[in-house]
A and B are shown apart, each in its own frame.
Chain A
Amino acid sequence: MLRDNTSKVVLIGGILIILFGAVAPNWIVNQLMFGFSRALAILGLLVLWRTGLVSFGHAFYFGLGAYTVAILDIQLGVTDVFVRLLGGACLAGLAGFLVGFIMRNYRDIFFAMLNTAISMVLYGIIVKTESLGSTDGFAISLPTIFGVAPETKYPLFVVITTVAIVSALLINFYLKTTIGRLTTPIRDNEIRVEYLGFSVAHAIHLKYTMSAILAGGAGALMAMSLGQVDPDSMINWTVSGELVFITILSGPGNVIAPFIGSLVFEVLRTYAFELAPHLWQLIVGGTFLTIIFFLPGGIWSLISKLGRSTS
């Protein structure tokens, strides 16, 4: 399972980053936490994108994960980081499995838009319900790890990075299995896949559910590392757009790409916000267009090109 280069890089790189986090300033640790949390959702979108499916509504699962953490915290007083993470990921996964029965019949723009619609239903419910925090959302208490309340954010960072490493390895392995390989083939020719004897609907359903679990986990980790959830930052359609943006920015080439893309996005946003607070949408939007036009393979295509020319 760990024989290929990607796995080795993920493993060694991940460990190096965990070590680096111990000496890095807080804000860098924060950016890494935000970036890696979000990257989990991108990992799921990457699998869908390779299959030719783009969801413009995965903030639904991201938000479900985040709000599960909030509800667990506020209603049940659950603080354990793993219970929260599993809760968020499982609930999102369950929702994804159920919604998947509808989604697996749709492709292209319809797939993208049905996802948006479903995410907006959740958004409407939360915004209008005072007991769910309406527009304000909730503050979330710091998580505990194995019953211990950590002094700093570092332990949470280690947990997030570890979850990121494990997820990247699992998805990397998944993409090597027979069913995991059914991405480009489905995009290229569904009829042939059916005649080869594999159900396209089942394959898509599985990928969709996986992406929901990952997005839910991402939302849960994001909620914990930020300490706050609210509908506009977690569920609104612009958040879904952001997730797709990072997917395109990252490129579909490798499971490492989402992590690099998410970090680049965090840095881009931080500096756009710092240098031109009035114009950060313009900067993000402009970058988006530039990537779509001039770098369709995303950042990963640059990295692999650079890699080819140096090795």
Chain B
Amino acid sequence: MTESKPILEVRDLLKTFGAVVAAKDINVDVRKGEIVGIIGANGAGKTCFVNMVTGYLKPTSGSIAFDGVQLVGKGPREVTHAGISRSFQVSQVFHTMTVAENLMIALAIAKNRGFAALREMDSPDLLTRRDDVLTRYHLDSYKDMTVNVLSQGVRKLLDIAMAVVSEPRILLLDEPTSGISVEEKFGFMDVVIEALREDEVTVLFVEHDMEIVERYVSRVLAFYQGEIIADMSPKKALADAKVQEFVIGTRH
């Protein structure tokens, strides 16, 4: 695995808001198939990092290369087209539409690029794919329910499902288990990670819960005050003094 070329190369990333430094000296390589956990206290710069990689925020300086393509300066849409998707800390779904409709729109946008967008949306091919995704993300039973009435957990599943239908090569999950009860979270993560492994997606996810981190990730990035203070295997990281002090210790 180590001999393969990194799919995502982040070099000297800096982000400032006026006098506030939100991220600095960020250097990360991610290889295909890795599942990377991003940990850190609130305000440590995790979401800022995700936002920069996915084009929501423009870095002050530095570079982000995805498969050799420079991402800095691209917006969310172009980053998505390049092959990077994301989910959100607060699920970003279409709340007055049903689960099936949400997925259908996501699929149609992903598959009907360009003038194909002017074709009728409900094609048999897309309907089959939609049902397949519904099954893999255990969303069958909510199919015809409006998002408004669904629990946070189901919304987050839908959020992630919508992010993967474009078949991204990298997926960034921003706190996938936040808002999900303790009893549900392992089941939830099992569903997600299994589905993602099937598709061979490279995953980076922001997480507060160290149990989740230990169980699912192959590598940990620990953030503290905008900087990466540890980049190592989960076992090492959890034992690391700095991580214990600045990440786990301050965790609530």
Contacts and interface: CB of A to CB of B under 8 A. Distances in A.
Interface of A: 1, 173, 176-182, 184-185, 187-189, 191-199
B110 A197 contact: yes
A178 B94 CA distance: 15
Nearest to B112: A178
Contact of B121 (A176, A187, A194): A176
Contacts of A197: 77, 80-81, 109-110, 113, 166
Given A178-B121, A195-B163, 9 more contacts: A177-B118, A177-B121, A178-B109, A178-B116, A179-B117, A184-B97, A191-B92, A195-B80, A196-B106
Interface in B65-117: 75-77, 80-81, 85-86, 92-97, 105-106, 108-110, 112-113, 116-117
Contacts of B81: 197
Chain B: interface size category: 20 to 34
Contacts of A177: 117-121
Contact of A196 (B116, B119, B162): B162
27 contacts: A176-B120, A177-B119, A178-B119, A179-B117, A184-B97, A185-B94, A185-B97, A185-B105, A188-B93, A188-B95, A188-B96, A188-B97, A189-B92, A189-B93, A189-B94, A189-B95, A191-B76, A191-B92, A194-B75, A194-B76, A194-B80, A195-B54, A195-B85, A196-B80, A197-B80, A197-B109, A197-B110
Contacts of A176: 120-122
A19 to B, nearest CB: 30
Name which of A1, A189, A196 has the most chain B CB atoms within 10 A of its CB.
A196
Contacts of B77: 194-195, 197-199
B96 A184 contact: yes
Nearest to A193: B109
A250 B9 CA distance: 54
A176 B105 CA distance: 11
A185 B86 CA distance: 17
Contacts of A179: 117-118
A192 B92 contact: yes
A216 to B, nearest CB: 21
A185 B94 CA distance: 6
Contacts of B92: 189, 191-192, 195
A184 B94 contact: yes
B112 to A, nearest CB: 4
A193 B109 CA distance: 9
B27 to A, nearest CB: 26
A196 to B, nearest CB: 4
B147 to A, nearest CB: 9
A189 B95 CA distance: 8
Nearest to B85: A195
Nearest to A173: B120
Nearest to B165: A196
Chain B CB within 10 Å — which of A182, A193, A195 has the most? A195
Contacts of B106: 196
B120 A182 contact: no
A181 B121 contact: yes
A197 B80 CA distance: 6
B177 to A, nearest CB: 20
A161 B166 CA distance: 43
B97 A195 contact: no
B24 to A, nearest CB: 26
Nearest to B147: A188
A178 B80 contact: no
Contacts of B109: 178, 182, 193, 196-198
B172 to A, nearest CB: 10
Q: Which 8 A-B pairs have the closest CB atoms?
A: A188-B94, A197-B80, A178-B108, A179-B117, A192-B92, A178-B117, A178-B112, A196-B109
Contacts of A196: 80, 105-106, 109-110, 162, 166
A185 B77 CA distance: 15
Nearest to A199: B77
Nearest to B168: A197
Interface centre among B80, B86, B105, B113 (most CB of A within 10 A): B105
A10 B168 CA distance: 42
Contacts of B97: 184-185, 188
